[in-house]
């Protein structure tokens, strides 16, 4: 999503389904209790489909995910992912940011082009 997207996981339904609250530019606001389904071939949440507004059972296009930001308790170790963690320069050492995978080309033509014209 070229203009930005932020989501907070509210609950996990099963190993491939979560419910989120999300804010993104397309809807000019926050939508609550939106279903997200993992459709990645390896069940690793690298590709998802998000429920369309007005019908929680209809899912939209496939979107690549570039990671999750995990909450962790004070003193616990960072969560390990298959992607490299990036620490933003000039921030406290316990702050993590999600990053685009080094090899983001694995989606090829399957992911829709969402570039603005």
Sketch the domain layout of the chain as residue ranges: 5-107
pLDDT score of 82 = 54
Report d(CA 27, CA 3) in Å as an integer: 11
pLDDT in tens, 39-97: 999 989 999 999 988 777 899 999 888 777 666 677 776 655 554 444 444 444 444 45
Higher pLDDT, 11 or 74: 11
pLDDT score of 117 = 43
In this prediction, residue 31 has a pLDDT band, given cuts at 50, 70 and 90, of confident
Write the DSSP string, 36-76.
EEE--TTSSSSEEEEEETTEEEEEEEEEE----PPP--TTP
Q: Decide if pLDDT at 16 tops 50.
A: yes
Taking residues 23-49, report their average pLDDT: 86
pLDDT score of 78 = 62
Q: How far is CA 69 from CA 61, 62, 80, 98, 101, in A?
A: 23, 20, 11, 6, 14
Report d(CA 18, CA 32) in Å as an integer: 12
């Amino acid at each position: 999503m070229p203009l930005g997207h932020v989501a907070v996981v509210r609950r996990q339904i099963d190993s491939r389904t979560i419910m989120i609250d999300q804010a993104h530019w397309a809807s000019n606001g926050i939508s609550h209790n939106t279903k997200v389904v993992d459709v990645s071939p390896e069940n690793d949440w690298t590709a998802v489909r998000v429920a369309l507004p007005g019908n929680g059972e209809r899912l939209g296009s496939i979107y690549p995910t570039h990671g999750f930001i995990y909450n962790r308790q004070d003193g616990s170790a960072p969560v390990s992912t298959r992607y490299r963690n990036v620490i933003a320069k000039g921030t406290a050492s316990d702050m993590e940011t999600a990053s685009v995978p080094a090899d983001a080309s694995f989606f090829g033509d399957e992911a829709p082009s969402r570039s603005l014209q």
